[in-house]
Structure formats: structure tokens, C-alpha cells
A and B are shown apart, each in its own frame.
Chain A
Amino acid sequence: MEQLAFTQFLNHLFGGPVLGLLQALHIHPDYPAHPISNSFAMEVLVFLLLMVFFLAARMRLSVDSPGAVQHVVEGIEGFIGDMGDELIGHHYKQYVPYLVVLGLFILVGNLIGLVPGLESPTAVKIVPLGCALATWFYYHYQGIRRNGVLGYLKHFMGPVWWLAWLMFPIEIFSHLARVLSLTIRLYANMFAGEMVTLVFFSLIPLFVPIIFMGLHIGVAVVQTYIFVLLACVYLGEATAHEH
């Protein structure tokens, strides 16, 4: 495995403790000499960037003279809030923090691959799977919290009571398929985008890759939008009250 500079740095600092932790959990990493992978290192980098961004916004909060960072944060919050209001319902506000963090994590993860010397963590299967699983558990948890266990299970029975025996396994299965659908969509798009840019860069290194990099930015934004929008749709379905 070719290590990125940031991965090397993390392995140098935390490689020993991480290996010890993995061995204690009976997990054997592929490369024991450097157990932290590029994708994990990039996730850590995205996390650090977002922390800096949110801290910068928090430190300069002002009602009278909001700064540029505050304007950006308010714009993002407003955009996702509008989406939530439309797709989740009037009780959308409590879900906005999760949706904003999810959206920013995916967006920065998608775009970070455009920086030379860095890779998109979302172009590695395990990272979109993590985002999809987090969303999956989150909307089920919120559904149970809002409707109770029995009330939430009624969602899986369908509208016709005598068809409940058939609808229940179908619904369970379709909910499980959502994890796979969210994962494959994000992973495949980001992986393909990176590959196309890389192939054209190796064929014609001048000017042409810029077109594909532009395309990659478009795909990164659209995929983030779709992921967050589907999270809103799932949250809206899970937290809706049955009448």
C-alpha cells in the first residue's frame, strides 16, 4: 500500500497504539507496520477540517455583524433546513444538526481528492458504508423515539392489515437494501469520477483533466445532495405518525 504523507504522519504517531488495539480485538491488519489506512487517515483529516470550520464559526458568532464563515454556516443550515421542512415535516429542526454534519462530511470527503497528495475517502467502499449505516441506525432510532417500538413496527405492516404477513418481510428487506443502495451510489460515483480523472490525466496531462475535474466537482456536490435528501426522505417516513 502506498501511503500518503498524512497517513505516514498518523502511522508514525499512532501506529503502535492502533496496532495494539486491533490485536486486542483479534483484528489482524493487512499491513502491521502501518495499520492506519489511507482512507481512515483521510477521514481523520476531514474530521479535523470540519472541527476547525465549526470552531471558526463558533468563535466569531455575532448577531450584529456576522462574518463570512457565519454566513456560510447559516446558508448551509438554511438550505438543509428547507429540505428538511419539505421532506420531513414541521418537526424537522431536531434532525438538522445530523443532516448538516453528514452533508458536510460527505461533501468535504468527496472534494478532498481533488487536492494533490490527498485521496477521497468516499471512493473507498467502507466509508460510504459507514455513512449509510450511521444514517440507517439514526432514522430507525428517531422513528422508535417518536412513535414507540410498537407504533414504529406498524410502519412495516403496510396499510392493509390482512396483507401484513407479506408486507412485513418485504419492508424489512427493503430497509436493509437501502444501506446497500446508499453505499453503492456514493462509492461507485466517486470511484468512477476519480478513475476517469486519473486515466485522462495519465493520457493527456494538460488541460483535458480540468474538464473531468470540473465534472468530478459536479458529481461530488450532486451525490452529497442526493445522500442528504434520501436521509431526509427516510427520516420523514420513519418519524411520520400513523393515522
Chain B
Amino acid sequence: MPQEPKEAPKPPNEQKFITSAARYSEIGFIIPAAVILGFFLGKLMDYWLHTHWIYLAGLIFGAVVGFVQMIRMALASMKDK
């Protein structure tokens, strides 16, 4: 009985490279996104609470979150290797 030809799977290294490239493209966006979010949330709280400093705290907190995420991603990629 003739056997059906099996579909050739993608080489694991190539697939992993594409997945990693797409995943780590997030690094470039997570820092500015977190900083912008911190700034706007801080501005919103300043508007509600009639203060003038929370936007700065939000900005700094956003930067910290962005860096923490970046470091975590880098550590995860080192673990994968």
C-alpha cells in the first residue's frame, strides 16, 4: 500500500528564530509604551487630584516598568539558549 507523503516540518531552529524575532520586537515598544502610559495616567491623576507632580512619578514608574520587562525578556531569552 503506497504511503502518503508526509509534510516536511519546518526546521526547529528556523521556526524558533522567527518566533524569537517577533517576540523580542516587543522590547523596542514596551519601554516607550510604558513611559507614555505612565505620563498620561499621571496627567489624569493630576487633573483629578489638582496636583502637578504625579505625571513625573508616572513617567519614572513607566520607565522602571519598561526596563524591568526588558531585563526579564533578556533573562528569558538567555534561559532559552
Chain A residues near B (Cβ < 8 Å) = 83, 86-87, 169-170, 173-174, 176-178, 180-181, 184-185, 225-226, 229-230, 233
> Quick check: is B45 within 8 A (CB to CB) of the other chain?
no
Which range contains the number of B residues in contact with the other chain? 20 to 34
* Bitwise interface map of B from 24 to 65 toward A, beta carbon under 8 Å scored 1, else 0: 011001101110111000000000000000000000011011
Chain B residues near A (Cβ < 8 Å) = 15, 19, 22-23, 25-26, 29-30, 32-34, 36-38, 61-62, 64-66, 68-69
Known: A87-B19, A226-B22, A229-B22. A173 touches B38 (CB 8 A): yes
Known: A177-B37, A180-B36. A233 touches B30 (CB 8 A): no
Provide the residues of chain B in CB contact with A184, threshold 8 Å.
Answer: 29, 32-33
Within the assembled complex, what's the spacing in Å between the Cα atoms of A83 and B18?
11
Decide if A173 touches B62 in the complex (CB within 8 Å): yes
Q: Most B CB atoms within 10 A — which of A174, A176, A230, A233?
A: A174
Q: B7's closest neighbor in chain A, by CB? A: A78
Provide the residues of chain A in CB contact with B22, threshold 8 Å.
Answer: 225-226, 229-230
Q: A169's closest neighbor in chain B, by CB? A: B61
Within the assembled complex, what's the spacing in Å between the Cα atoms of A177 and B64?
12
